[in-house]
Amino acid sequence: MSTHFPQLSARLPALFERLQGHQVAVIGHSRPDGDCIGSQVALCRVLRARGIDALCVNPDPVPRRLQFLVGDTPFVRFDQLDAAGRLAVYVDCADLRRAGESVKARFPAPAGNIDHHLSNNGYGEHNYIDTAAAATGEILAGMFLDAGLEIDALTAQNLFVGIATDTGQFRFPATTGRCFEIAAELVRRGADPAVAGNELYEQETFGKLQLLQRFLASFKTECDGLVCVGLIPEGTYAETGTTPEDTEGMVDYARSIEGVQIGVLIEMRDGAIKASLRSTSPVYRMDRVAGRFNGGGHACAAGLNVKGTTLEAFRAELVAAIAAEIASVKNASA
Amino acid sequence: MSTHFPQLSARLPALFERLQGHQVAVIGHSRPDGDCIGSQVALCRVLRARGIDALCVNPDPVPRRLQFLVGDTPFVRFDQLDAAGRLAVYVDCADLRRAGESVKARFPAPAGNIDHHLSNNGYGEHNYIDTAAAATGEILAGMFLDAGLEIDALTAQNLFVGIATDTGQFRFPATTGRCFEIAAELVRRGADPAVAGNELYEQETFGKLQLLQRFLASFKTECDGLVCVGLIPEGTYAETGTTPEDTEGMVDYARSIEGVQIGVLIEMRDGAIKASLRSTSPVYRMDRVAGRFNGGGHACAAGLNVKGTTLEAFRAELVAAIAAEIASVKNASA
């Protein structure tokens, strides 16, 4: 059997030694995704199997779709945690702020820091960072396998979901042969891709598909086909029985069109506008466009909130700002 | 290294022997999908690498999105083929009719038949059928790996795409540890999940999203919410500037709704009806429902073609057949 993370795995016993005999909080980031919850639950279960009194803590609740990952693993919201005396291990947190200000204030110097984000500066006492890994779940699974630890079926499922979600179902650029190798090992230990797929992707509400249908119907391209804008006007959530959470992933439809470089979702709710911007390449700086409206984010994914305008007026303003960004990219490369 | 398909692999040399010295047509099914094209191209390349004069033949053109799979592999439409003297190997064809009547008439007794469909009756001289495999690409890849054959990067990509598409990106029920194991081997040999993902899922046309929008708008649930039916009426392709190949994957939206066990897409084009059936569990036998209309397929994915009726009349007939299937499942478990 190959060794997945030789350098990190060699140092894993040191973390276990540090934690032995202590109460431990396994901390994830706010607005948790599949890799965050999966990594928290998996590490917590492995620690508990070694007799370490660990629980999972998150500033936000576990999303409905990810609740199947928790099982009998102790999982609490930070505001319900008696944190006294606990050591902390952060997973999937690029920096301490990602766990929320109050968590950061309570656990400013964690014993462990396990992550795959490029910007992680190694803020823990024991750091296990591999930025080539597609998911924190991949690092944890690889280390557990390298160490020959027993991985129960629920732990395997959590690690599998971490890899599957952070690779966009095994297709984002970080997807390597190692991802598949580790996934195979996890399936052998009880991870169930069909159950995971069903929980993650097959439980849409009828209203969400109606919302998607209306969003798609509103698509218009701009800037010679480089931009596609979709709208969710005031009242749409009520009419379709949905909530703003149901827009998750929808902006990707606008960006997925051939030739489109920038996808935009603009929604209006209770008189306030929220926009999501996605670009196919970091050349187009969505954080810069959002910044013009006091928003922010990453190069390829940014957002903003504005008030006191109409959907159509704001749409025109935003398209103009995006056109300016495209023009500046063109000028820079000319 | 483990052996992926021990029984089939042991018989693979017999097929090579049979084909050696002959011209060969590697035939797929009409309206080809990723597993069909991927299996055709991969087998053709492996045969050519062994000095066998093979080409790929399909009754229909290679869909736009799958053209990246062909490369320098000879691939012709059946009506352009000089078929004289060629031996045939069918891949991913549950039965000869799936390749179209004229192909069937020309190659009624193929030398080879490689497939994973439940209803394949072994119509070839040499048959390589494993209905537990998630894809024909999985069988081919497994046999090539078992035999220690050289697999070039494009062949690896084709086999990978066969597995990735037929498993719905590694999440349909047939997705096993073996799928991931083989995928890992293919990535090591040059398959690129990110390139495949971009070609398969990030190059939508504007028209395709309009088609999706209309399909979603037609959704109605039946059988107490267990079934969701979506329609593509006559004229929709022309109105949205799309073709039937643009419906690929759309039926999954119908099946993905919470509580829905069976998703249905019914399209009418040039007066003929085609329906696709997908169930979340093999308990509901879509092949059995399709069989009532002379269609066929797998337990979880089947299809059928009918003529001489209207969309609404056929819709009612099909819903009745599905209701009967649901009732028989209920009775069997009662």
Q: How far apart are CA B323 and CA B313, in angstroms?
A: 16
CB atoms within 10 A of CB A59: 20
pLDDT, tens digit, 9 for 90 and up, residues A264-289: 999 999 999 999 999 988 899 999 99
Q: What CATH number has the domain bearing residue B297? A: 3.10.310.30
A230 chain-B contacts, CB cut-off 8 A: none
pLDDT, tens digit, 9 for 90 and up, residues A85-128: 899 999 999 889 889 899 999 999 999 999 998 889 999 999 99
pLDDT value of position A4: 97
CB A174 within 8 A of CB A167: yes
Cα A147 to Cα A105, A116, A125, A142, B122: the distances in Å are 33, 19, 21, 9, 46
**A299 pLDDT tier (thresholds 50, 70, 90):** confident
CB A99 within 8 A of CB A93: yes
Each residue's pLDDT tens digit in chain B (334 positions)? 569 999 999 999 999 999 999 999 999 999 899 999 999 999 999 999 999 999 999 999 999 889 999 999 999 999 898 878 899 999 999 999 989 999 999 999 999 999 999 889 999 999 999 999 999 999 999 999 999 999 999 999 999 999 999 999 999 889 999 999 999 999 999 999 999 998 998 888 999 999 999 999 999 999 999 999 999 999 999 999 999 889 988 999 999 999 999 999 999 999 999 999 999 889 999 999 999 999 988 899 999 999 999 999 999 999 999 999 999 999 988 7
Task: Compare CB distances from A187 to B176, B194, B200 and report the shortest one's residue.
Answer: B176
Tokens for A322, please give them. 């995006």
Helices (H), A58-106: 101-106
A164 chain-B contacts, CB cut-off 8 A: 170-171
Same domain, A65 and A151: yes
Domain-embedded: residue A23: yes
Of B138, B166, B201, the domain-final residue: B201
B216 chain-A contacts, CB cut-off 8 A: 209-210, 212-213, 216
Same domain, B195 and B210: no
Q: How far apart are CA B52 and CA B23, in angstroms?
A: 7
pLDDT value of position A5: 98
Q: How far apart are CA A90 and CA A25, in angstroms?
A: 8
CB atoms within 10 A of CB A303: 18
A204 chain-B contacts, CB cut-off 8 A: 253, 256-258
CB B230 within 8 A of CB B253: yes
E-strand ranges in chain B read 23-27, 53-58, 75-77, 87-91, 112-115, 126-129, 220-222, 227-232, 262-269, 272-279, 296-297, 301-307
Domain-embedded: residue A52: yes
pLDDT value of position A193: 98
CB contact under 8 A, A210 and B202: no
Q: Shortest Cα distance from A14 to chain B (angstroms)? A: 31
pLDDT value of position B41: 98
Domain boundaries, position A322: 207-333
Cα B89 to Cα B102, B135, B154: the distances in Å are 15, 17, 20
Of B148, B168, B201, the domain-final residue: B201
pTM reported for the whole predicted model? 0.86
CB contact under 8 A, B177 and A170: no
Q: How far apart are CA A282 and CA A286, in angstroms?
A: 8
Handedness of CA B142, B144, B146, B150 (dihedral sign): negative
Same domain, B193 and B216: no
Q: What angle do CA B259, A188, B287 make, to 5 degrees?
A: 40
Q: How far apart are CA A177 and CA B186, in angstroms?
A: 8
Domain-embedded: residue A1: no
CB contact under 8 A, B181 and A177: no
Domain-embedded: residue B11: yes
Give the number of residues written for chain B: 334
- Per DSSP, the three-state class of A155 is helix
Q: What mean pLDDT comes out for the span A30-38?
A: 92
Number of domains in chain A: 2
pLDDT value of position A296: 82
CB B160 within 8 A of CB B193: yes
Domain-embedded: residue B1: no
Q: How far apart are CA A32 and CA A90, in angstroms?
A: 13
Give the number of residues written for chain A: 334
Tokens 């979340």 label which residue? Answer: B280
Same domain, A56 and A165: yes
- Among A199, A202, A224, A278, the residue to mutate for chain B (most B Cβ within 10 A): A202
Q: Give the nearest chain A residue to B253 (CA atoms).
A: A209
- Among A157, A159, A166, A169, the residue to mutate for chain B (most B Cβ within 10 A): A169
CB contact under 8 A, A212 and B216: yes
CB contact under 8 A, B193 and A178: no
Adjacent-strand bridge partners of B89:
B26, B112
Q: How far apart are CA A315 and CA A305, in angstroms?
A: 13
A198 chain-B contacts, CB cut-off 8 A: 171, 280
Same domain, B141 and B122: yes
CB B303 within 8 A of CB B288: no
Q: Give the nearest chain A residue to B262 (CA atoms).
A: A202
Q: What CATH number has the domain bearing residue A15? A: 3.90.1640.10
Largest CA distance in chain B: 59
CB A51 within 8 A of CB A17: no
pLDDT value of position B245: 84
CB A15 within 8 A of CB A87: no
CB atoms within 10 A of CB A304: 23
Tokens for A210, please give them. 């109606």
Q: Shortest Cα distance from A199 to chain B (angstroms)? A: 10
A167 chain-B contacts, CB cut-off 8 A: 193
CB A44 within 8 A of CB A72: no
Q: How far apart are CA A199 and CA A160, in angstroms?
A: 13
CB contact under 8 A, B206 and A221: yes
Interface of B with A (CB under 8 A): 164, 167-173, 175-178, 180-181, 183-185, 187-188, 193-194, 196-198, 200-206, 209-210, 212-213, 216-217, 219, 221, 253, 255-258, 280
Nearest to A94 by CA among A179, A185, A8, A33: A33
What residues contact residue B223 under an 8 Å CB cut-off, 6+ apart? B262, B319, B322, B323, B326
Nearest to A136 by CA among A181, A174, A96, A189: A174
Task: Compare CB distances from A181 to B173, B184, B216 and report the shortest one's residue.
Answer: B184
CB atoms within 10 A of CB A1: 8
Query: What are the φ/ψ torsions at residue A140 (nearest 5 degrees)?
Result: -60, -50
Cα B90 to Cα A6, B108, B297: the distances in Å are 45, 10, 16
CB contact under 8 A, A209 and B172: no
Same domain, B238 and B327: yes
pLDDT value of position A280: 86
CB A227 within 8 A of CB A322: yes
Task: Compare CB distances from A258 to B194, B204, B216 and report the shortest one's residue.
Answer: B204
CB contact under 8 A, B258 and A197: no
CB contact under 8 A, B221 and A206: yes
CB contact under 8 A, B193 and A216: no
pLDDT, tens digit, 9 for 90 and up, residues B157-194: 999 999 999 999 999 889 999 999 999 999 999 999 99
Q: Shortest Cα distance from A201 to chain B (angstroms)? A: 7
CB contact under 8 A, B253 and A196: no
Tokens 């050591």 label which residue? Answer: A87
Domain-embedded: residue A78: yes
Of A185, A201, A217, the domain-final residue: A201
pLDDT, tens digit, 9 for 90 and up, residues A151-187: 999 999 999 999 999 998 999 888 999 999 999 999 9
Task: Compare CB distances from A194 to B172, B206, B217 and report the shortest one's residue.
Answer: B172
pLDDT value of position A24: 98
CB contact under 8 A, B173 and A194: yes
Same domain, A194 and A84: yes
A172 chain-B contacts, CB cut-off 8 A: 194, 197
**How many A-B residue pairs are in contact by the CB < 8 A criterion?**
128
pLDDT value of position A282: 85
Same domain, B18 and B147: yes
Give the pairing of strands B301-307 and B296-297.
Answer: antiparallel
Q: Return the amino acid letter for A286.
A: M
Tokens 């798609």 label which residue? Answer: A216
Nearest to A5 by CA among A135, A109, A118, A191: A135
Radius of gyration of chain B (CA): 20
Tokens for A226, please give them. 């480089």
Same domain, A156 and A34: yes
Task: Compare CB distances from B184 to A180, A204, A258 and report the shortest one's residue.
Answer: A180
Same domain, B105 and B228: no
pLDDT value of position A309: 95
Domain-embedded: residue B160: yes
Task: Share the mean pLDDT of chain B.
Answer: 95
Q: What mean pLDDT comes out for the span A228-244?
A: 96
Same domain, B183 and B271: no
Tokens for B282, please give them. 């093999």
Adjacent-strand bridge partners of A306:
A273
Same domain, A218 and A161: no
CB contact under 8 A, A175 and B196: no
Domain-embedded: residue B231: yes
pLDDT value of position A118: 82
Radius of gyration of chain A (CA): 21
